Structure 1
Amino acid sequence: MSRDAQTLISDDDVERFQRDGVVVLRQIFTQDWLDRLAQGIERNLRLPGPMAIHYTGEDSPGRFFGDYCNWRRIPQYRYFVTRSPAAEMAARLMGSERAQFFHEHVLVKEPGTAEPTPWHHDLPYYCVDGDDTVSFWTPMDPVPEQVCPKFVAGSHRWGKLFYPRMFKDGENYDYKGAGYEPVPDIEGNPGDYDILSWSLEPGDAVAFNYKTLHSAPPNPGPGRRRGFAHRWLGDDVRFCERPGKSSPPFPEMGVDLKPGDRMEGEWFPVIWPPQLEEEGAAE
């Protein structure tokens, strides 16, 4: 572990992440990285990928845009994924020897956007299973606490899987089979949960486990809310099948793995430690 990662991610940060499933990290990305990501996001908005979604209705104000799995075609994203300190910081938070990239997810709420992001956790959407996971939500803009994503502390340790939900209408995915529960009514019973949220500045990030429940408010104010989420896999993560279409739909994108396999191939490079990067697709 380099001195930079140990400086940027303290022992207290690691403890909070492991305990709460979420931690705010202050000024871990320099302006150069933010400028590069902002350029990539504008390119992404101009040239959406095949899985881009506009969540706002035709008659709704603002714009809620989402897109993912574009890091291989957008140079600014690729450079950030492969060259920034994110992978090393991910490994430190997860307590993993290695950090593989999973995918990026861009979520932009323009001023006046009325749509919230419903309460959910990410793991049931994904074709992976394991405890060693982390997403960094990295804002390009100042984010007042009232429009910052919200997280239920400790929910990654509940031992439950909740139905994935559609961002457009909050409806559950049509997953067949046992093992999934409806997301509890967190918004209606906030006193029952330890809900964490923060005011953020560009350079900050919120790191959270794939099992941590979270949501995001509308963006009614005058400022943009451009978020670049980058998602990482640690030592114990393996491929799994879900009882419906996963998101991202990697099996439909040519990823041919069996349950229990380590995530392999060009989509999932090992970025940390650097000497394993070239071996990632061959292990």
Structure 2
Amino acid sequence: MKKNYLNEFQINEYKNEGVIILRGLFDDWIDKLQSGFEKVINNPSEHGRDNVKEKNNGSFFEDYCNWQRITEFKDFIENSPAAKIFAEATKSSSVQIFHDHIFSKDPGTTKETPWHQDLPYYCVDGNDTGSFWIPLENVSKENSLKVLKKSHKLNKLVKPTKWSTNKLWYKNNNNFIEIPNINENDKNIFNEDLNRGDAIFFNFKSLHCSPGNKENKPRKAFSVRFIGDDVRYIDRGEETSPPYKNINLHNGQKLRKDWFPVVWSN
């Protein structure tokens, strides 16, 4: 019998709140992820960029879509518990990899990651989605990711912005809404201390953010995003992030398996 990683409470929590915490499930993978992380830092892809433009304000580096060239990331996606956990949480019969993403904030970096949803940036639509945010060392709640519970149930998606400039991502934002007012003391904000091997798992529609880095060590996090049964392609009318140029799909089609391989199925 295949091992289950989630209990019914966690599955219902993910459905209702849009976010759960996973304790210690990736401890055996952190060294490997750190190795892959350093490979990307030393040899970024075309997507790699620093979101801090001002001198002496630290560094907020990100890069994505590296799993096919970074063997450690590919191994994690194909062989770690992540895809099975995703299947349990979304009750999907088949799981495809959407993309990987790394984040690094140097000590003293003031640049915050603003409140946002992931889905508006993407060329997909659906509810069977999930992103793992995995810090590569212990992170205090004051320095960790925040997620607004139940925000995956908003009636419309929030306008996406460019993190480096805070300008709107798309020229046409008729299909999006303004971000709701968020009280930083809201009891619905998910915010926890994280230890090595822990992860935050949340829906693509869940609003989330992270602070600058006030600690004296870099904050490095690996993220991987999966899609499940009900996810379909959507043409946003402009370039998405990741861009996935020449994807050659029409609205409502399932994503092509040669670009987004199935990494788990029942």
Q: TM-score, normalised to structure 2's length? A: 0.95
Tell me how large the CA RMSD over aligned residues is. Answer: 1.5
Q: Displacement, 1:126?
A: 0.1
Q: 1:22 maps to what in 2?
A: 19
What secondary structure, in the 3-state scheme, does the structure 1 residue paired with 2:134 have?
strand
Give the structure with the larger helix fraction: 1
What are the residue-to-residue correspondences of 1:218-237 with 2, within 5 Å?
A: 218-237=212-231
- Of residues 117, 124, 129, the one that matches 1:128 is 124
SS in 2 for 1:118: strand
| Mean Cα deviation higher: 208-217 or 105-114 | 105-114
Q: Which residue in 2 is equivalent to 1:76?
A: 72
Summarize the alignment of residues 144-183 of structure 1 with structure 2, pairs less than 5 Å apart: 144-176=140-172, 178-183=174-179
Contact 2:159 2:173 in 1 (8 A): no
What are the residue-to-residue correspondences of 1:200-279 with 2, within 5 Å?
A: 200-250=194-244, 252=245, 254-273=246-265
Q: How does 1:3-18 map to 2 (within 5 A)?
A: 3=3, 6=4, 8-18=5-15
Task: For 1:91 and 1:213, locate their aligned partners in 2 and report how far apart those are by CA, in whole Å.
Answer: 21
Distance 1:204 1:216 in 2: 17
Q: Provide the residue aligned with 2:192 in structure 1.
A: 198
Residue 62 of structure 1: how far off its partner (Å): 2.4
Matched positions, count: 266
Give the C-alpha shift of residue 111 in structure 1: 1.4
| Residue 159 of structure 1, CA deviation | 1.7
Structure 1, unpaired ranges of 5+: 275-283
Offset, 1:57: 2.2
Identity of aligned residues (%): 37
The answer as to whether partners of 1:60 and 1:114 remain within 8 angstroms in 2 is: no
Assess if the C-alpha contact under 8 Å between 2:161 and 2:167 holds in 1. yes
Shifted more, 220-229 versus 121-130: the winner is 220-229
Within 1, Cα distance between the matches of 2:261 and 2:171? 29
Contact 2:95/2:262 (<8 A) preserved: yes
Whole-angstrom CA distance in 2 between matches of 1:230 and 1:265: 17
Paired residues of 1:177 and 1:243 also in contact (CA < 8 A): no
The amino acid of 2:2's aligned partner reads S
Aligned partners of 1:156 and 1:213 also within 8 Å: yes
Conserved? CA contact 1:136–1:230, under 8 Å: yes
Q: What does 1:58-97 align with in structure 2 at a 5 Å threshold? A: 58-97=54-93
Q: Given the alignment, which residue of 133, 136, 145 partners 1:137? A: 133
Measured after TM superposition, the shift of residue 139 of structure 1 is 0.8
* Matches of 1:52 and 1:191, distance apart in 2: 33
How far residue 267 of structure 1 moved from its aligned partner, in angstroms, is 2.3
1:49 partner amino acid: S
Q: Distance in 2 between matches of 1:191 and 1:43?
A: 38
Write the deviation string for residues 126-163 of structure 1: whole angstroms up to 9, x where unpaired.
00000100000011011100011111100101222111
Q: 1:69 to 1:239 in 2, by over 3 A?
A: same
Residue 41 (structure 2) pairs with residue 37 (structure 1) = no
Take 2:137 and 2:40, find their aligned partners in 1: how far apart are those partners? 17
